[in-house]
Amino acid sequence: MKVYEDTKIFVVCPAYEKSGGPLALHQLAHELRKRKMDAIMAYACAVRDESPVAEPYRKYHIPFVTDAIASDEHHILICPETMAGSFPRHLRHIYWWLSVDNWARTIMGYFQQALLTSFAHPIPHFVPLAGDAGTHWVQSEYAHRFLRINGVPEQKIHHVSDYLDPVFISRHADDTFDIRHRRDVVAYNPVKGAEFTRRLQEAAPDLHWVKIEHMTSSEVEECLSEAKVYIDFGEHPGKDRIPREAAVCGCCVVTGRRGAAGNDVDVPIHPRYKFADRLENIPAILDCIRRLLAEYPQRIADFAAYRASIRKEKALFEREVEAALTFSDAAPQTKRLALLPKGRIEPAQLPQGTDWEKREDVQVAAVVDDTAAGSYVQAFQRTLPVISNEDAMFLYQEGRLEGFLTQDVTDGNVLHIYTE
């Protein structure tokens, strides 16, 4: 889909939510803004006077709307498949299939509701799978195959996946694992394949099962960095994050064959570590788990290719976004800078002139100050967000900021540019 110079790209996301889907949506908007596209989060079901941005995603500092979206034939709306009806369809649409099963479950709910009333009105959140309904992006090979068998032409489908947090990946960049710190633990997510996992536990009460529940992100990481095995017999509605996190943390991964785990693209582990969740397979599954626990130093190498592919996901994501959106003009060359005031921020002392805004080579995009982070100030006759030093460094490392302005208080607050 073509992006014009005046295109605004609205990325639809549920307000307040923290999960794999909202993270992917914020990663996408972040990537688009890194490419100097005008990407904006469009939060659905937001409460007035309350920030709709979940805490883990505030570091991205993406502008957002919570109500009407401006109508323009050049604008684009990117929405996850389960939220297709959250905003009016007067824009060019991209449906991003982050989950197949969740979409089906959502549609089933609306059909059941319509049966109690009537089918006189359109089914909300319904994505027509064929015809000229829009462009489809797929996060997984599973979603790609689903769309193809349901009549969506290949030329209307683009692969745009997601990636694990680069900071998380950097903490596990070394592919050697300290065997001494590993415990004979089988970790699992209790909301994934709960019934079948319960049957496994009943058949092997001697194994040490640890459920990933009521844990902080750091506690999940610590658990996966100590366990030897992670199992997931859930639906795998897309490329789930926890199996990937478990693999990078050094777990041997055993899955079912449902959803995205049913192919060797989304979950590229050896078939001997995938089992259909049938009762007759329980003895073989437990034999596999016991072998992985006993032979962990040797068996961890079986997942090296899986770990390598996960570490390359961010670079792949960047290439996929570039291939999925056709930019009609070169991105602006203006460098985005952040202002570093000396000492505590004093709005009255901030630059108010327009000379800097007339320059075509730089633009001030934010003001850095820990004490006022989260607020806005007037500077350069504009309203600028105030961000923390930590967020400024994150945005700088990610390429969203390309330098800094500093004020020289000994020389009449003269501004100096620092860029690479």
Q: What is the pLDDT of residues 101-160, one digit of tens each?
A: 887 777 777 667 667 666 666 666 566 665 556 789 999 999 999 999 988 889 999 999
Q: Band the pLDDT of 53: cuts 50, 70, 90.
A: very high
Mean per-residue pLDDT over the chain, rounded: 87
For residue 80, how many C-alpha atoms fall within 13 Å in the half-sphere facing its CB? 29
Instruction: Give the confidence band of 87 by pLDDT, cuts at 50, 70, 90.
Output: low
Cβ proximity of 26 and 56 under 8 Å: no
When pLDDT is cut at 50, 70 and 90, the band that residue 281 belongs to is: very high
Domain boundaries, the chain: 2-162, 166-310, 335-419
Superfamily classification of domain 166-310: Glycogen Phosphorylase B; (3.40.50.2000)
Can 2-162 and 166-310 be said to share one CATH topology? Answer: yes
Judged by average pLDDT, the poorest of 35-49, 123-137, 174-188 is 123-137
Question: What confidence tens digit (pLDDT) does each residue in 297-323 have?
Answer: 999 999 999 999 999 999 999 999 999
Looking at the chain, the whole-number percentage of residues with pLDDT higher than 70 is 85
CATH number of 2-162: 3.40.50
Give me the pLDDT at residue 22, please.
94
Q: What is the pLDDT of residue 126?
A: 60
